[in-house]
Structure 1
Amino acid sequence: MPDWYGSLTGLRTLDLGHNALRALPDLSALTRLEILYIHDNALEAVPALPDSLTYLNVSENPLPALPAFDLPNLIELRALDLGLTSVPPLRLPKLRELHLRTNALTAVPETVRDLHELRLLDLRANRLESVPDWIVELPRLEKLDLRWNAVYDPPGELLARGCVVLTE
């Protein structure tokens, strides 16, 4: 990125997806940035991000792990095709959508338990064999997508609520 990027303080959307970027500078100076696409690059780390973000797509990068995000306004996080085997603690109090499709998760990440605003949890194409009972405690969960996993018996309460997708 050019050196003058930090002067774009009014920038609200930044699409850097589908490039061959290996690194990004600290983006926290972009205090009005709401939407950030950094998917499909060669990033091995996620830069510092502004608190103003509401949407973040980090998918399809060779990240060794997902950072422990602390983004108070984030509503949607897309972390697809990263090869994740775990997810660190996430401080995302407003998160409504978490997309973790096509990773290598063998369990529903424990950090999901603290995402009380979560409405959609996409866990398609992981290595899940079960779903923890505490998942029913997510008060706003409307859709839990478990396709292409080895899960055959999610909590009946979720099935009754109509929010589980198991169809191939």
Structure 2
Amino acid sequence: MSSTPETSALAVAPPAPRVARVVEETIPKPVEAHDESETKELPLTECVEFRPDDEEIYHVGTAGLKARVLDGLEAMVQLRELHVRSNLLYKMTGIESLVNLTHLELYDNQIKKMVGLEKLVKLRVLDLSFNEIRSIPDLSHLTQLEELYVANNKLTHITGIANLRTLVKLDLGANRIRTIEGLEGLENLEQLWLGKNKITAIQGLDALAKLRVMSIQSNRLLAIDNLSANVALEELYLSHNGIEALANLGHLTKLTILDVGANRIKSIPPMGANVALEDLWLNDNEISSFDDIQHLASNSKLETLYLERNPLASDFEYRLKIQGALASVQQIDATPVVRRQG
């Protein structure tokens, strides 16, 4: 961000924040030389140049040096954002004094424990995805936290977050979670991402009255239920489970996207109550009757319908029959609908 000089002496633009950017210079290796960076704990200060008064630090280690430990940050109390992605960090020591930090991103490292967060009470975004974390400690002191990402770790339970009343987005996808729990105080949560876990039932969502987007894709669900309190849902992703019936959705009048592809659904019930529905994904199920398509005729906003790889899709007039039954549909599977004029 750059500031424009003001012509008036009375109006002075605030100085732009000092930002440290990535140093991506690769060190040439002599033939048969031993790579010391593989054995020593390379500190952050040897990977990226930053000044004591910087307010933001960014280092992505995909092409250059990879930091093993965080160092040189102790006196940087003015630091607002710290982004150290795709490095080799194995611990979070070195951030304890960063009391003005609002964004902390340590995505794609080798961190095993969430520590050093006690004084970081101004955090709004915390991203520790793609690490080796097994549990989330009590984070109730992070009273301004809005976004928490701990996807692709080794979590088995949802802990430590029940009192995060300011949380808007939570991503715990690709872990080992079996039960939806510990969300009781997340009254402002709008997005919940739990795909690629081992969850067997939808539950524990009663407090999430503001939830707009939820994904429980690629889990072990057998039914759609316990969503009675989640009337604000607009997008619901439940593909790649073992769901056998499209049920208990009539109260979701704000739902615009429903993805239940790759399940065991055999029929489509009337869905007229879902008046806002625009996209419906039912591909890779067991639907065989074209009579079921008529149950979507009253969904006047429905534009996209996926039914490929169902038994009925083998009919050579499959697309024509859907077009004839559903006047609003503009796309069937991946192909746009072309309607004759007049």
Q: TM-score, structure 1 length as denominator?
A: 0.90
Per-residue CA distance 1:31-50 (angstroms, 9 max, x = gap): 00000001111112222221
Give the percent of matched residue pairs that are identical in Structure 1 and Structure 2. 30
Query: Aligned-pair distance for 1:163?
Result: 4.0
Q: Root-mean-square deviation (CA), in Å?
A: 1.8
Q: Is the 8 A contact 1:38 1:57 kept in 2?
A: yes
Task: State yes or no: 1:107 paired with 2:219.
Answer: no
SS in 2 for 1:126: coil
Q: 1:9 aligns with which of 117, 121, 126?
A: 121
- Structure 2 residue aligned with 1:65: 179
- Bigger fraction of residues in helix: 1
Following superposition of structure 1 onto structure 2, how do residues 42-61 of structure 1 map, counting pairs within 5 Å? 42-49=154-161, 50-61=164-175
Q: Which has the higher contact order (CA 8 A, sep 6+)?
A: 1
- Inter-partner Cα distance in structure 2 for 1:162 and 1:56: 25
Instruction: From 134, 137, 143, give the equivalent of 1:31.
Output: 143
Query: For residue 150 of structure 1, what is the aligned residue in structure 2?
Result: 264
Within the candidate set 118, 125, 135, 2:249 is matched to: 135
Name stretches of at least 5 consecutive residues in structure 2 with no aligned partner.
Answer: 1-91, 94-114, 283-305, 309-342
Residue 121 (1) aligns with residue 121 (2): no
TM-score normalized by the length of structure 2: 0.46
Larger radius of gyration: 2
The residue that corresponds to 1:79 in the other structure is 194
User: In the alignment, which residue of structure 1 is the partner of 2:336?
Assistant: none
- Between 79-88 and 117-126, report the one with greater CA deviation: 79-88
Are the aligned partners of 2:192 and 2:215 in contact in 1 as well (CA < 8 Å)?
yes
Change (3 A) 1:78 1:118: same
Aligned-partner residue type, residue 221 of structure 2: L
Alignment correspondent of 1:164: 280
Tell whether the 8 Å contact from 2:208 to 2:230 is kept in structure 1 after alignment.
yes
Contact 1:17 1:38 in 2 (8 A): yes
